[in-house]
A = this chain, B = another copy of it.
Amino acid sequence: MPEKEYVTYGQSSGCGCGCGCATTGASRKITGCRFTLSVMSDRFIDVILGSLAKTNTDKVWKMTDKLSTVYRGRQNNVEDAVKACFMNAFTEGVHMTSEMTFSRGCPGDVDADSMMDVDDTPVNAPALADIHFPVNCKIALYPMGVEDYMHHIATVVNHAIDLGIYEKSSHYCTILSGDVHDLFDYFHYVNSYCSEHLSHYIFEVTLSVNSPTAE
């Protein structure tokens, strides 16, 4: 029986798997987003493939596995590509949710699997500017490795209150709602805030459109 290969996050020499086994972490500020589109329709494959065909992902590193897709690169470009994927998949009358995990600064991260040497002008933005629809949303921010994490969470939630997109606090998340652009502008604020104030964070977002559930 072969010996098991255990993980040693942040403790071993780099194993080169791009997963979290390096000693030093990434030296560049790579923003990542792992996301899934869940389309509650028999036509879910067509909807997702149609969205991907319309989305320009030239400025991000990308990978798709059985569970989700990952984009990595500069913050603006990752946000732009994820937003485009979501907006291009929107279909009138079809219930869809999207789970997005934004993150930066994991001690086990590596410089590989990214695209940083490009400009960060959002390439999908012009085609999306005139499209509007309402979105329900839950968010949760996880500032890692710091004792005052509740303070950072309160700061970003209070900014949502200032913007008028805050609906309520609930168990394990904060509920937001608003136009799709207002929400993604807010995600940009959160990623920027975290980039400035935290060495490692995870920002979990779930979006929902055309839900049949009233409340």
Measured between alpha carbons, how far is A39 from B40 in the docked complex, in Å? Answer: 6
A11, B150: Cα distance in complex, Å:
9
B39 contacts A162, C-beta separation under 8 Å: no
Question: How many copies of this chain does the complex contain?
Answer: 2
Instruction: Tell me the complex Cα distance, A140–B146, Å.
Output: 18
Given the complex of chains A and B, what is the CA–CA distance between A104 and B168 in angstroms? 20
With contacts A66-B215, A170-B65 taken as known, whether A158 is within 8 angstroms of B6 at the C-beta atoms is yes
A157's partner among B7, B101, B113 (CB-CB below 8 A) is: B7
Query: Given A38-B38, A40-B41, A204-B204, do A171 and B72 touch, yes or no (CB 8 Å)?
Result: yes
Indicate if A173 sits at the interface (CB-CB under 8 A). yes
- Give the residues in chain B near A153, CB-CB below 8 Å: 9
Number of A residues near B (Cβ < 8 Å) is: 75
The answer to whether A6 and B66 touch (CB under 8 A), given A44-B95, A106-B172, A108-B150, is no
Q: What residue in chain B is nearest A94 (Cβ atoms)?
A: B42
* A202 and B142 contact, CB distance less than 8 A: yes
Contact residues of A between 65 and 106, Cβ < 8 Å to B: 65-68, 70, 72, 95, 97, 99, 101, 103, 106
Given contacts A40-B42, A67-B137, A99-B99, 14 further A-B contacts (CB under 8 A): A6-B158, A9-B150, A9-B154, A10-B151, A11-B151, A11-B154, A21-B169, A34-B171, A45-B212, A66-B215, A67-B206, A70-B170, A101-B140, A142-B142
A-B pairs with the 3 shortest C-beta distances? A19-B169, A38-B38, A40-B44
Q: Would you mind naming 28 contact pairs between A and B with Cβ atoms under 8 Å apart?
A: A4-B162, A6-B158, A8-B154, A9-B157, A19-B168, A19-B170, A34-B172, A40-B44, A41-B41, A42-B42, A44-B95, A45-B212, A64-B213, A66-B175, A66-B208, A66-B214, A67-B137, A67-B173, A67-B175, A70-B171, A70-B172, A101-B140, A101-B172, A106-B172, A108-B150, A109-B171, A142-B144, A204-B204
